[in-house]
Structure 1
Amino acid sequence: MDLFDIVSKINSILWGPVMLFLLLGTGVLFTFKLRFLQIRKMKYAFKETFKGIFKKGDRANEDGMSSFQALSTAIAAQVGTGNLAGVATAIAAGGPGAIFWMWISGFFGMSTIFAEAILAQVYKKRVDGEVTGGPAYYITDGLKNKYLAAFFSIAIILALGFMGNMVQSNSIGAAVSGAFNINPLFVGIGVAIIVGLIIIGGIGRIASFTEKIVPFMAIFYILGSLIIVFSNYENIIPAFKMIIYGAFNPMAATGGLIGATIKESFRYGIARGLFSNEAGMGSTPHAHAVAKVKHPGQQGLVALMGVIIDTGIVCTLTALVILTTGSIEAGLSGAALTQEGFMRGFGGFGSYFIAICLFFFSLSTIIGWYFFGESNVKFLFGKKGLGLYRAIVLLCIIVGTTMKVELVWELADTFNALMVIPNLIALLGMTSLIVKVTNDYENNFEKNKPSQYINTEDKLRNPQY
């Protein structure tokens, strides 16, 4: 048994039913604890998210970034290759019904990501003059467990900053070299230069990049998908029937084309949904922690929109492209299945369209994951560790484009699981605080009454800031 087999075996245990139950169960718990907040406060979530989108002059600095910039940074990490390849894998392995279970995971995941953003805001603090935060900080100051926090930090730096970014750069190298016949090594060097120019500018340049690129890439992909879906309008209703009926009878939904069971439909839909929107994984709180808002509840509602955009819109459109074009009949999986759908819709241009989307999706994810890792490098070593961290990230980007990444994927999944566990412990351990802050937002802040958790002009009123 080689290293790949050993790591795969470990992942089959780590990412088995227990982990999926914990992630989904946490979402169910917070949904009931917060009284279905993702439904009750949907109008407010849209208002909080988009009210400042056209506001000029709100630059990110050592005091943080705007609420929309924080959301853009979170979405930059959430919307990636999983939205293209992950959705297709779920359909290929679990049938169209897997998308229904993906929606279910997204619905409950909204309450989890709200809870993460709440804690990130409550326990954010200044490190070397800059506002920062994330699970390492709320585990240290909320749970009073610095060892568990250090464990989380090491896991996320390895999972996202290093191995995860190798996988993302590999996706860019494969897509660009395949579509435009460019040597993957040259693609990797080019991507490393672009990333280096962005990250060397610190939080200001990262926020500026994500708030511009994320809306562009989302609109580009959404419009392309809608064109294909509506050009096959007669298949839209049958596609939704396949999704809903297939969730409970996968074999009948596809006429036995995919030999999936209800168990497989549920498993792959839940798993791909959770991996895609990252709810409960402890990654997006790093972005939401540095948002300049008056109350933690505001950023919690903004965080909800990340799941809606990622799972509710982008993942759903990928599924509809595959189903309305009949690409499911091709017997493909992963990115190849998604590419088949766009090629059936756009002809030869479809491969270029997917290559362009993969480039921007993966590039934005690299930037988002770099930022999450940077927050934890600061937690462990302060600013003095950033130089070496940046150098390793850029090296991983170049190396990632030239190698087979099956083992790297498996290792990234291992450390992903290891960062989920301490984050879920923190969320469950501070459930009462999350409920308290939410009630303060609804009963006091929204009604312009004195609030215990409101920010002053330059800092949050809590002893850890």
Structure 2
Amino acid sequence: MELLSTISNWVWTPMAYFALGLGLFFTWLTRGVQFRRLPDMIKQLRTGKAEEGGLSSFQTLALTLSSRVGVGSVAGVATAIAAGGPGALFWMAVTGLLCSTAAYAEAVLAQTYKRRVRGEDRGGMPYYVKYGLKAPWLAVILATLALVGYGFVFPGIQANNIASSAQLAFGLDPWITGAAITALLAVVILGGTKRIVNVAQAVVPFMAIGYMLTAVVIIVVDIEDVPAALWTIVASGMGIDAVFGGLIGYAVAWGVRRAIFASATGLGEGTFAAAAARASHPGKQGIIQAFSIYIDVLLVCMATGLMIILTNSYHVIDHIRGGFLVDHVPGSVAGPNFVQNAIEVTLPGWGPTFVAVAVFMFAFTSQIFFYVATTNLVFLLGEKSNRWLEGLLKVGALTISFVGAMISADMMWAIGDIGYGLIAWVNLCSVMLLIPVVRKIVRDYDRQRALGVDPTFDPQELGITGADWWEERIQEERVKKGQGERVASPTTEH
């Protein structure tokens, strides 16, 4: 554990400042696209439609949120508070506001460089690294990291948190919960992409709404304490709180770390769903992905954090002397237990059971983002099929779901942090090198919106190469238009 924690800190301490700096730079580059285009976000969700082989804007948002709104929005927030104090929440919010532009840039690139594979639209991190950055060797490294992470490691984190909350609520042994999770996951992933999309689209909205309503009830009940709680969060994040001010370095590092983990911005996780969307311009899917960050970090994560702080359902680690600076929940493990206690304080008899069910729904829909692993496998296979390797991947995901439920929480989180951190470094550096492409697309989208037209994308007009999917679609539309004109033309003169 000491070795894993040391490696995790090496990966994440500089990443926190790099991610914030990159988010600030992208905000300047796009002239605050995450704020300017908020009305477009809502409009695109209403008007985007699914086509054969592609997904609608709402479907991609649901599929992305099935990953973004996961245990990071519950357990991840709790671990951030335990390690960085209440100030970690402040830096989570800052990360959500600034780094939503990174999610925008990722999605734009994923749309631009997607491909048509086996009748489905596929794309994501390795595709824009290979076809946009023209670095196939780096694309293979990135795809391998993502394949191993999403297929053989990260499902264990979700299973671990489900087992932890179920043990507190129902007294179930972790192996029993692990077996149940594995069986349900098998039903979903064996059904293929369509079943994954259908499950996500059906479950995510109800999951998020139910959780948020419970948070609102707790906040309203403790409304008199909200100003003091908010001041504690801000003061701790700025380093001026009497108790937690000395943790500002940990608050920044853990706030950014858990915001990235919870929302997956910068990890490229949402790029695979973004690439599957059918949109007339990459900029449209960019603003959808930025909107998903708002929903997760600024709504769900902040609601979780406020519940925990309002009810004093947390402890904060003393990194210098050992032990805790404060320990309001003796014996509790940082994670779902904090939230279970928070709800139990306000709504006796409701907390452990409700959170166990909520964590199950959050975590299970994160599990079904197995779509990420399969897309990376497709990329590595050269867009060919290999049933043996596909079967091995499914077995791996099911195995870690079972084993992960029984591994210690600290070890599972540490291993996951290292994996996420490595992917984030490679992906964010790649996105940074593709800034010229992102800038062209942002400007093109803004230009067309200023003209009052529905933006359409032509990569050749912008001097963008490697966007084969778009070039093929434009060619097909020209052929159809030409055929239509010939059919409409008179065959004889009168």
Query: TM-score, normalising length from structure 1?
Result: 0.90
Which runs of structure 2 are paired with 1:106-255 in the superposition (5 Å)? Answer: 106-252=96-242
Structure with the greater alpha carbon radius of gyration: 2
Amino acid at match of 1:197: V
The structural deviation recorded for 1:422 is 2.1
Residue 337, structure 1, aligned to residue 338, structure 2: yes
Contact 2:67 2:365 survives alignment (8 Å)? yes
Tell me the alpha carbon deviations over residues 374-393 of structure 1, each in whole angstroms, 9 at most, x when there is no partner. Answer: 11011112331322211211
Contact 1:440 1:451 survives alignment (8 Å)? no
Q: Provide the C-alpha distance between the structure 1 equivalents of 2:415 and 2:174, rounded to a whole number of angstroms.
A: 22
The structural deviation recorded for 1:417 is 2.0
Helix, strand or coil for the counterpart of 1:383?
coil
The structural deviation recorded for 1:460 is 4.2
The structural deviation recorded for 1:42 is 1.2
The structural deviation recorded for 1:81 is 1.5
The structural deviation recorded for 1:98 is 2.1
Q: What is the aligned partner in structure 1 of residue 363 from structure 2?
A: 362
Q: What is the aligned partner in structure 2 of residue 40 from structure 1?
A: 36
Amino acid at match of 2:439: V
Contact 1:93 1:260 survives alignment (8 Å)? no
Contact 1:87 1:315 survives alignment (8 Å)? yes
The structural deviation recorded for 1:201 is 2.0
Amino acid at match of 2:470: R
Q: Provide the C-alpha distance between the structure 2 equivalents of 1:454 and 1:45, rounded to a whole number of angstroms.
A: 23
Which runs of structure 2 are paired with 1:287-436 in the superposition (5 Å)? Answer: 287-328=273-314, 330-332=327-329, 333-368=334-369, 370-381=370-381, 382-384=384-386, 385-436=389-440
Alpha-carbon RMSD across the aligned residues, in angstroms, is: 2.3
Report percent identity of matched pairs: 31
Stretches of structure 2 lacking an aligned partner (at least 5 in a row):
315-325, 461-467, 475-494
The structural deviation recorded for 1:338 is 2.1
Q: 1:462 to 1:348 in 2, by over 3 A?
A: same
Q: What is the aligned partner in structure 2 of residue 92 from structure 1?
A: 82
Helix, strand or coil for the counterpart of 1:280?
coil
Q: What is the aligned partner in structure 1 of residue 489 from structure 2?
A: none
Q: 1:8 to 1:100 in 2, by over 3 A?
A: closer
Contact 1:160 1:412 survives alignment (8 Å)? no
Tell me the alpha carbon deviations over residues 21-51 of structure 1, each in whole angstroms, 9 at most, x when there is no partner. Answer: 2222221111111011111111211222345
The structural deviation recorded for 1:445 is 5.7
Helix, strand or coil for the counterpart of 1:355?
helix
Q: Provide the C-alpha distance between the structure 1 equivalents of 2:273 and 2:342, rounded to a whole number of angstroms.
A: 33
Q: What is the aligned partner in structure 2 of residue 11 from structure 1?
A: 8
Q: 1:449 to 1:464 in 2, by over 3 A?
A: closer
Q: Provide the C-alpha distance between the structure 1 equivalents of 2:354 and 2:241, rounded to a whole number of angstroms.
A: 32
Q: 1:108 to 1:353 in 2, by over 3 A?
A: same
Q: What is the aligned partner in structure 2 of residue 441 from structure 1?
A: 445
Contact 1:123 1:464 survives alignment (8 Å)? no
The structural deviation recorded for 1:452 is 3.9
The structural deviation recorded for 1:407 is 3.4
Q: 1:129 to 1:441 in 2, by over 3 A?
A: same
Mean Cα displacement is larger for which, 72-81 or 105-114?
72-81
Contact 2:236 2:245 survives alignment (8 Å)? no
The structural deviation recorded for 1:215 is 0.4
Residue 462, structure 1, aligned to residue 471, structure 2: yes
Contact 1:163 1:409 survives alignment (8 Å)? no
Helix, strand or coil for the counterpart of 2:280?
coil
Contact 1:159 1:411 survives alignment (8 Å)? no
Q: 1:261 to 1:397 in 2, by over 3 A?
A: closer
The structural deviation recorded for 1:464 is 11
Stretches of structure 1 lacking an aligned partner (at least 5 in a row):
none
The structural deviation recorded for 1:96 is 2.3
Q: What is the aligned partner in structure 1 of residue 63 from structure 2?
A: 73
Q: 1:373 to 1:9 in 2, by over 3 A?
A: same
The structural deviation recorded for 1:8 is 2.7
Mean Cα displacement is larger for which, 42-51 or 25-34?
42-51
Q: What is the aligned partner in structure 1 of residue 458 from structure 2?
A: 453
